[in-house]
């Protein structure tokens, strides 16, 4: 029998992210996966801006992914073979982040970047290892690991299921997995093709059915589409079925020269009622499965892991009580439910089998889509959901906003980013790039008036001398021409405005997961210290 602090079951993007988070926290863990080698099939293709921003907390991941992927190529929308719009999101003014656009990159490359970073941290994935007989008591959880003919009993303080839709952890936990399967059958084909198609942008085709075309690397194209409800075919499609389907939807032939992956499947829309059962946790597809509408699934799993990682570390180190881990479900379950509702709405709109609905939709689309896309506010609303930049932990019990503070950012909201200049005049430093994936970081804003710097200095002194916050990093940000020692200049006061401190000194506590733990005027430091 062996022991570890955390056993991660599943080494996809969610499990690998959790392994990275625990590595930074110096928490002992093991990560296993039943597959003998990493998959060469890419299920997910989009890394959304919020995920890019959070993964950038690890030194090399974001840069590696940016080198492999393509940022924000845009989308073509067709209806009944008629081109309606070619749209992008790069004019929406997402200037409070360095990652304003989605990144189109294969899941294979995403996982490879994570694995390289994990190896830098000294971690490794145990492959070809399955887990069963998961049990728990008040002190530990245990499971039997099997690799080939050898078996090993492992006891862990916590077991985290990142093992997908058929999660053994979820099946072992006292939770429900509520929802249903969609009736439509879908086909997927990765292939090298010959013919006329957009090699840069994603293309959505609507008609009697739905098809999405994704241009991948090295001349490979992915076709994902609905199999006809009248079809009597079962199982994986063949080359001929895909070619017929593509011609039906596009109105022209594309010759498939080589198929790399052919499969068929049905999607579900389901979620657990609780992300935690004692010493068992669920993240990613183990906690929520849904259609791929909007490219949300992998990204939500990544952010589940980032939310959980620092909390596990705080409890294991004895900094927080066991009940602190309940905030994982408290914060992430509403996000998962919103995800299920949003993706279900989008999926139903494009893939409904109701012939009356699809007929009306296809008649209205040529009129509605160009008008919606030309309306910047409507596109911004859509993109805010897709980018995941607007995810908020509104009702979390562990965040706070100073009494009477009514700024544009609240406790539990994403911390906006922006560029600052250091005391030597070096430009181009991103504020969130100076935060820590291990510890909290405190931003102290001097405010617009010079006499507020006294409040800033007093706040810093109280925080630094309070032993509970000795590990917190403190970053001082000045709006005027004078920059205090070790501080940074907020050029044109942009960050002061984003956080709501144009008129007075303020403080922002940023959690390791990039969310605001507390915000308010600098003189409210006692309110923060009493949380």
CB 322 within 8 A of CB 314: no
Predicted confidence at residue 294, as pLDDT, reads 67
Could you list the beta-strand ranges (E) of 266-330.
268-272, 276-277, 280-282, 288-289
Q: Which of 271, 256, 264, 263 is nearest to 343 (CA)?
A: 271
Predicted confidence at residue 524, as pLDDT, reads 86
CA angle, 138 as apex, 133 and 141 as ends, to 5°?
30
CATH of the domain at 299: 3.50.50.60
Count of domains forming the chain: 3
Q: Whole domain around residue 209: which residue ranges?
A: 70-100+183-266+353-391
Predicted confidence at residue 118, as pLDDT, reads 97
Task: Characterize the bridge pairing of strands 130-136 and 46-47.
Answer: unpaired
Same domain (yes/no): 45, 139:
yes
> Which one-letter DSSP state was computed for residue 231?
-
* pLDDT tens-place string over residues 133-167: 999 998 999 999 999 999 999 999 999 999 999 99
CB 510 within 8 A of CB 516: yes
Quote the radius of gyration of the chain (alpha carbons, Å): 25
CB 212 within 8 A of CB 198: no
Same domain (yes/no): 324, 313:
yes
d(C-alpha 513, C-alpha 54), whole Å: 7
- How does DSSP assign 317-353, residue by residue? TTSS-GGGGHHHHHHHHHHHHHHHHHHHHHHHHHH--
Same domain (yes/no): 247, 359:
yes
Buried b (16+ CB within 10 A) or exposed e, 175-201: bebeeeebebbbbbbbbebeeebeeeb
Same domain (yes/no): 169, 37:
yes
CB 158 within 8 A of CB 5: yes
Could you list the beta-strand ranges (E) of 362-446.
400-401, 419-422, 429-430, 441-445
- What are the phi and psi torsion angles at 74 (to 5°)? 95, 180
CB atoms within 10 A of CB 315: 19
What six digits make up the tokens of 208? 């009697």
CATH of the domain at 90: 3.30.9.10
What's the per-residue H, E or C state across 10-58?
CCCHHHHHHHHHHHHCCCCEEEEECCCCCCCCCCCCEECHHHHHHHCCC
Predicted confidence at residue 159, as pLDDT, reads 99
Same domain (yes/no): 145, 217:
no
Same domain (yes/no): 239, 309:
no
Predicted confidence at residue 140, as pLDDT, reads 96
What six digits make up the tokens of 481? 């021409």
Instruction: Indicate if the alpha-carbon torsion angle 231, 236, 242, 246 is positive or negative.
Output: positive
Predicted confidence at residue 452, as pLDDT, reads 59
Predicted confidence at residue 76, as pLDDT, reads 94
Same domain (yes/no): 307, 166:
yes
Same domain (yes/no): 469, 323:
no
Predicted confidence at residue 199, as pLDDT, reads 86
* pLDDT tens-place string over residues 270-319: 999 999 999 999 999 999 998 877 678 899 999 999 999 999 999 999 99
pLDDT exceeding 70 applies to what percent of the chain?
98
Predicted confidence at residue 425, as pLDDT, reads 79
Total-model pTM: 0.94
Same domain (yes/no): 387, 404:
no
Predicted confidence at residue 526, as pLDDT, reads 82
Predicted confidence at residue 464, as pLDDT, reads 75
Last residue of one domain, picked from the residues 391, 414, 444:
391
- What are the phi and psi torsion angles at 291 (to 5°)? -70, 160
Predicted confidence at residue 449, as pLDDT, reads 61
Last residue of one domain, picked from the residues 320, 351, 382:
351
Same domain (yes/no): 301, 429:
no
Same domain (yes/no): 63, 76:
no
Task: Give pLDDT < 70 ranges for the chain.
Answer: 73, 294, 449-453, 455
Same domain (yes/no): 508, 452:
yes
What six digits make up the tokens of 188? 């997927």
């Amino acid at each position: 029998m062996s022991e570890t602090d955390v056993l991660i079951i599943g080494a996809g993007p969610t499990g690998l992210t959790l392994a990275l988070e625990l590595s930074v926290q110096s928490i002992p863990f093991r990560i296993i996966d039943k597959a003998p080698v990493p998959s060469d099939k890419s299920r997910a293709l989009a890394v959304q801006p919020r995920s890019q921003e959070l993964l950038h907390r690890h030194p090399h991941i974001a840069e590696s992914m940016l080198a492999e992927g393509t940022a924000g190529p845009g989308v073509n929308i067709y209806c009944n073979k008629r081109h309606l719009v070619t749209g992008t999101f790069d004019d929406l003014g997402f200037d409070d982040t360095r990652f304003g656009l989605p990144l189109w990159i294969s899941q294979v490359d995403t996982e490879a970047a994570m694995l390289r970073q994990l190896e830098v941290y000294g971690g490794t994935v145990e492959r070809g290892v399955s887990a069963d007989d998961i049990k728990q008591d008040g002190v530990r959880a245990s499971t039997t690991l099997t690799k080939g003919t050898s078996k090993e009993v492992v006891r862990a303080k916590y077991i985290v299921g990142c093992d997908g839709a058929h999660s053994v952890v979820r099946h072992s936990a006292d939770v429900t997995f509520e929802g249903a399967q969609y009736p439509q059958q879908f086909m997927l084909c990765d292939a090298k093709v010959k013919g006329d198609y957009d090699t840069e942008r994603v293309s959505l085709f609507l008609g009697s059915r739905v098809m999405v075309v994704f241009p991948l690397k090295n001349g490979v194209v992915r076709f994902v589409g609905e199999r006809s409800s009248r079809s009597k075919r079962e199982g994986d499609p063949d080359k001929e079925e895909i070619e017929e389907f593509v011609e039906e939807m596009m109105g022209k032939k594309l010759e498939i020269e080589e198929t790399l992956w052919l499969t068929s499947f049905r999607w579900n829309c389901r979620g657990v009622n609780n992300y935690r059962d004692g010493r068992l946790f669920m993240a990613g597809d183990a906690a929520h499965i849904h259609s791929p509408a909007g490219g949300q699934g992998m990204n939500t799993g990544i952010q589940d892991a980032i939310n959980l990682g620092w909390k596990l570390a705080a409890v294991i180190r004895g900094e927080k009580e066991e009940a602190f881990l309940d905030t994982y479900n408290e914060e992430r379950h509403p996000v998962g439910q919103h995800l299920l509702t949003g993706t279900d709405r989008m999926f139903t709109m494009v893939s409904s089998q109701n012939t009356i609905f699809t007929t009306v939709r296809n008649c209205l689309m040529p009129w509605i889509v160009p008008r919606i896309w030309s309306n910047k506010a409507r596109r911004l609303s859509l993109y805010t959901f897709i980018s995941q930049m607007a995810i908020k932990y509104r009702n979390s019990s562990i965040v706070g906003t100073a009494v009477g503070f009514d700024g544009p950012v609240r406790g539990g909201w994403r911390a906006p980013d922006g560029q600052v200049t250091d005391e030597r005049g070096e430009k181009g430093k991103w504020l969130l790039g100076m935060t820590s994936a291990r510890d909290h970081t405190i931003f102290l804003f001097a405010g617009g008036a010079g006499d507020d710097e006294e409040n800033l200095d007093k706040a810093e002194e109280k925080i630094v001398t309070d032993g509970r916050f000795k590990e917190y990093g403190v970053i001082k940000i000045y709006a005027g021409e004078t920059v205090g020692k070790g501080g940074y200049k907020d050029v044109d006061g942009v960050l002061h405005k984003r956080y709501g401190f144009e008129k007075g000194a303020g403080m922002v506590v940023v959690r390791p997961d990039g969310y605001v733990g507390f915000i308010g005027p600098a003189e409210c430091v006692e309110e923060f210290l009493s949380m």
